[in-house]
Amino acid sequence: MRQADPRMAFDSEQVVEELKRHTSLSSLIGEYVSLKKAGRSHKGLCPFHDERTPSFHVHDAQGFYHCFGCGASGDAISFLREHLGYSFREALEALSARTGIELPEQRRETPEMRQARSQRQDEKARFYQLNARALGYYVSQLDGAATNYLYEQRNLTEEMVRRYEIGWAPDSWDAFATSVPRNFQDQRDAAALGLVAQRKEKRGVYDRFRGRIMFPVYAIGGKIAGFSGRTLSNDKETPKYVNSSESSIFKKSDLLYGLHQAQKSIRSLDIALLCEGQVDVITLAQHGFPNAVAPMGTALTENQCRLISRFTKRVVLLYDGDAAGRKAALAGVGLLLQAGISGRVVQLPDGSDPDSYLKTHGANALQALIESSPALFQAALQHTVASYDGTIPGATRVIQQLAPLLAMVPVPEERNRYVAEIARVTGMLEAQTRELLRSSAAKGRQAPENVARPPSVDVSANARRPAPSVEKDLLALILQHPDELLGHWMEGYRNQGITHPGIKLILEMSWEITQENGRFDAAKLLERLRDSGRTNACAAVVRMLNQQNHLSDKYEMAFVEIAETLKASEERRQLHVHVRSQTATLDTRGQLEAMRAFASNSSEPR
């Protein structure tokens, strides 16, 4: 891998800038979005919201993207985080692998450590490639008993089967092993992934998935991490589900089934439905709930909660309506609250699961049930007080059980309502209840600080008026040639002649970013404008950056001409202010003479 600039050897912030600068944003985004060249940018359908007319622009020269439809904007790192759900660290590692620029800690590695890391990366690449080939094989085998189960018994449509890429592992000992692995390394990798198993009595391998419906499980980024295979056998000794073996790319406690297909809907709806099984996820999507996902097993984990929190902070727990499902749902309440997630717990009728409930009652009934379901803490409260025996020790136990969960509820008003409800149910004074809750919570996790609201923006009438064309021309020139013109303008002309507050703000922000980073960063400019509520300014900046540059090598001459024009207008304005202040104390004749002198001076050639 090539080294970053040695001057930034241990400056992580500068390495981040170096990673972004060496990333072709249109190539990166083009792997997920169909882009076409459009003037100075590339254009395509926005990956962050549904649209039929392309309004999503990717600007390679400035390293940012922007959607005029939904306002999404950012750089290479924000795209990996917002679209693919990467963590910040994962995004840096992805760009490092893409550009060949090492991260600071990688440059401190010994040769042995670097070799081990390279081997891990190579192994993951092989594993993903083999899983992709396995998926193609399983999908090609889908027919007969498998299609009967999916279409007739589970009433899934062909569209849903294709969307979730469901396949079939033939009921054979070596159908897969003799078709997909191409060499000895493939066989070793297939064994590590749990696609095949080693024979005990003789050399060779055999298929581990046999006679099973195959559900592919995606990792963040859209690669196949593994599979979950459901048997069609009624033999009680046969496990209902078999998952891929734990490996460097498949850790079931870190994965959510259906997230790859649901992530766009989860973002746009800002809520996720969390159910138990793969077929539940697909049936929910088929009935108009495309934001459904499922953990790999009924036990929700902290990592899965953190994963889903990258896409939304609201979750509906939609587990089966039996004792095991209710227990699993209640166990997930604390994990969700701890991850800063709010939501509801749906209580399905006894014996029902989302699949059977939808088939019996329909989508509207399920939506109504979701909307009337208790909030996460409320569900835990109802469950806990159900076993309350009416005694003072019993009340203390209830409060001690609920205190850690209550401390995680982020909204103070909600916490106050729950305190009052606990006091009412237990028959204790509210002050006593608060004291017990406070002492119990002190031993556990404290409530997170409330998230500050975004600053309000005072948009005056002056800011809403159209900007003078000469000022817009100047801004467009500077944004298209920031390295050559921005410093010259801010240090040499100091915004002289700029009358529109929006243009002045953009120039000042641009200069501030340049001084902080050593270079202009369009993505950071858009981020700051968006955070301050100035969406119109964001759109204006993108349009200017997308404009065709007809000036070619004459942009410096155009800049000087515009800058001098604005400087002259500022000087005339200042002279006018001075004259008015001086004439305010003169009589009428003196005012007329002063005004004639001002007009004469203003008309003289410069």
258, 260, 288, 267: which is closest to 49 by C-alpha?
A: 267
d(CA 456, CA 463): 15
> Residues 366, 402: one domain?
no
> Residues 471, 539: one domain?
yes
Domain extent, residue 125, equals 114-250
Q: What is the CATH number of the domain that holds 126?
A: 3.90.980.10
What pLDDT is attached to residue 573?
79
d(CA 257, CA 426): 40
**Domain assignment of residue 453, yes or no:** no
d(CA 401, CA 384): 8
Helix axes 430-441, 392-406, angle to 10 degrees: 60
285, 358, 290, 347: which is closest to 320 by C-alpha?
A: 347
Cβ 291 vs Cβ 251: under 8 Å: no
Residues of the chain with pLDDT under 70: 1-12, 202, 298, 441-464, 548-553, 576-606
What pLDDT is attached to residue 455?
33
CA–CA–CA angle 172, 176, 180 (5° rounding): 165
d(CA 7, CA 5): 5
What pLDDT is attached to residue 549?
61
> Residues 335, 392: one domain?
no
What pLDDT is attached to residue 451?
29
**Domain assignment of residue 563, yes or no:** yes
376: exposed, middle or buried (Cβ count in 10 Å: 0-12, 13-18, 19+): buried
| 335 SS3 class | helix
> Residues 238, 339: one domain?
no
**Domain assignment of residue 279, yes or no:** yes
What pLDDT is attached to residue 586?
52
**Domain assignment of residue 239, yes or no:** yes
> Residues 398, 369: one domain?
no
Number of domains present in the structure of the chain: 5
d(CA 298, CA 107): 42
Across the beta sheet with 36-38, what order do the strands follow?
Answer: 36-38, 41-44, 56-59, 64-67, 73-74
d(CA 570, CA 572): 5
What pLDDT is attached to residue 581?
62
Cβ 220 vs Cβ 306: under 8 Å: no
Q: What is the CATH number of the domain that holds 38?
A: 3.90.580.10
Q: Helices then strands (H, E): number in the chain?
A: 27, 16
d(CA 277, CA 486): 56
**Domain assignment of residue 256, yes or no:** no
What pLDDT is attached to residue 5?
44
Q: What is the CATH number of the domain that holds 588?
A: 1.10.860
> Residues 407, 358: one domain?
no
Distance set, CA 602 to CA 228, 565, 577, 579, 582 (Å) = 82, 14, 13, 12, 17
> Residues 360, 408: one domain?
no
| Residue 56 parent element (H or E) | strand 56-59
> Residues 486, 500: one domain?
yes
Decide which of 250, 278, 300 is a domain's last residue.
Answer: 250
**Domain assignment of residue 462, yes or no:** no
The residues pairing with 168 across neighbouring beta strands, listed in sequence order, are 213
d(CA 306, CA 231): 31
> Residues 96, 174: one domain?
no
Decide which of 314, 346, 373 is a domain's last residue.
Answer: 373
**Domain assignment of residue 458, yes or no:** no
Helix axes 376-385, 412-426, angle to 10 degrees: 10
d(CA 333, CA 217): 24
Q: What is the CATH number of the domain that holds 287?
A: 3.40.1360.10
**Domain assignment of residue 96, yes or no:** yes
What pLDDT is attached to residue 553?
64
What pLDDT is attached to residue 580?
64
> Residues 422, 344: one domain?
no
Structure tokens at 110: 């010994």
Cβ 300 vs Cβ 332: under 8 Å: yes
d(CA 266, CA 313): 10
At residue 137, what is the residue type? Y
Evaluate the CA torsion angle 69, 70, 74, 78 in order and state its sign: negative
> Residues 340, 399: one domain?
no
CA–CA–CA angle 177, 183, 188 (5° rounding): 70
> Residues 513, 550: one domain?
yes
Residue 233: CB atoms within 10 A of its CB come to: 14
b/e per residue 266-289 (b: at least 16 CB within 10 A): bbeeebbbbbbbbbbbbbbbbbeb
Decide which of 52, 87, 108 is a domain's last residue.
Answer: 108
